[in-house]
Structure 1
Amino acid sequence: MLFVDMLFVMVVAISFIPIITGYCAHSRGRSFWLWFALGWMLPLVSFFLLFALIARDELHPGRRLLGEARQILREAEEAAARVRAEK
């Protein structure tokens, strides 16, 4: 029984990085399942690779403005859809 408990704790501890990596990727518009799988295969490498990709997007002014423009466009489309639905 002790072996099963230790195995369960190890699986939960090891799955912490893939879950965090997948969540961060999903919050930035990337595929959760792709980054979750990468997090299982290469835990630290995938975490630092995702960190580098996010930093590249945030530090490059053109990419940041493009992201903001996409967000504004998405909100405008949602508002237009709501107005059409009310009519």
Structure 2
Amino acid sequence: MMVDLFFGFVCALLWLPLVTGYCAYSYNRSFWLWFTLGCVLPIVSFFVLLGLICRQELNPSYKLLEEAKRILAEAEAAEVERQL
């Protein structure tokens, strides 16, 4: 009984840091850094990361940069394939 309660408490305690780390990893940020920040400051770190992601997504230059990275990666893969 106590083990179940302890396990449930640990899962509830680590839920927000795991979500914060996953969101950070999805946007090419360090999972472990944001997971640690989520453990130390759970609610604050989540909203800081959310603000960073919103700022990144609303910035049109970021979208252009991602498109340029994708085009360069495709060109590099085609060049490697052509050399083989």
TM range (shorter): 0.7 to 0.9
Q: How does 1:5-84 map to 2 (within 5 A)?
A: 5-81=4-80, 83=81
Q: Secondary structure at the match of 2:79?
A: helix
Structure 1 stretches of 4+ with a deviation exceeding 4 A read none
Task: Give the distance between the partners of 2:27 and 2:11, measured in 1 at CA.
Answer: 24
Q: Secondary structure at the match of 2:48?
A: helix
Runs of at least 5 residues in structure 2 that lack an aligned partner in the other structure = none
Q: Which amino acid aligns with 2:58?
A: L
Counting matched residue pairs gives: 84
Alpha-carbon deviation of 1:36?
Answer: 0.7
The change in CA–CA distance for 1:67 and 1:4 in structure 2 (over 3 A counts) is same
Runs of at least 5 residues in structure 1 that lack an aligned partner in the other structure = none
Q: Secondary structure at the match of 2:29?
A: coil
Q: Which amino acid aligns with 1:22?
A: G
The change in CA–CA distance for 1:79 and 1:40 in structure 2 (over 3 A counts) is farther
- Per the normalisation by structure 2, the TM-score is 0.85
